[in-house]
């Protein structure tokens, strides 16, 4: 299993609870914690249609689209982690 945690210093305002992605051979798990509650999305690797990276000055966002039209936008990863995530998923 591969685990990625977004930077606490990105501009998305998640210093306390950064986004996290967990990737294994069968699925991707996205966790987005908030001050009250959290959001968890689990997607089978078979259902991933595309993976895109939005690069900014210091950080990058990873956008995962499924064949069903669902989007996961994980924000604030280092550019190298974003590239690794894309490589694992494509």
* Domain covering 2-89 in this structure, CATH number: 2.30.29.30
Residue 80 burial (10 A CB sphere; 0-12, 13-18, 19+): exposed
pLDDT recorded at residue 7 = 79
CA atoms within 13 A on the CB side of 63: 8
pLDDT in tens, the chain (90 residues): 899 998 766 555 555 578 899 999 999 999 987 667 788 999 999 999 999 999 998 899 999 999 989 999 998 899 999 999 999 998
pTM: 0.84
Residue whose C-alpha is closest to residue 78's, from 1, 5, 2, 24: 5
CA-CA-CA-CA torsion sign (71, 73, 74, 77): positive
Domain coordinates of the chain in residue numbers? 2-89
pLDDT recorded at residue 12 = 54
């Amino acid at each position: 299993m591969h685990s990625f945690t977004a930077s606490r210093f990105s501009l998305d305002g998640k210093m306390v609870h950064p986004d996290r992605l967990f990737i294994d051979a069968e699925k991707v798990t996205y966790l987005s914690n908030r001050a009250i509650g959290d959001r968890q999305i689990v997607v089978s690797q078979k259902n991933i249609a595309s993976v895109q990276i939005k690069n900014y000055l210091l950080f990058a966002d990873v956008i995962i689209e499924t064949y069903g039209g669902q989007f996961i936008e994980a924000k604030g990863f280092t550019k190298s982690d974003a590239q690794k995530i894309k490589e694992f998923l494509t």
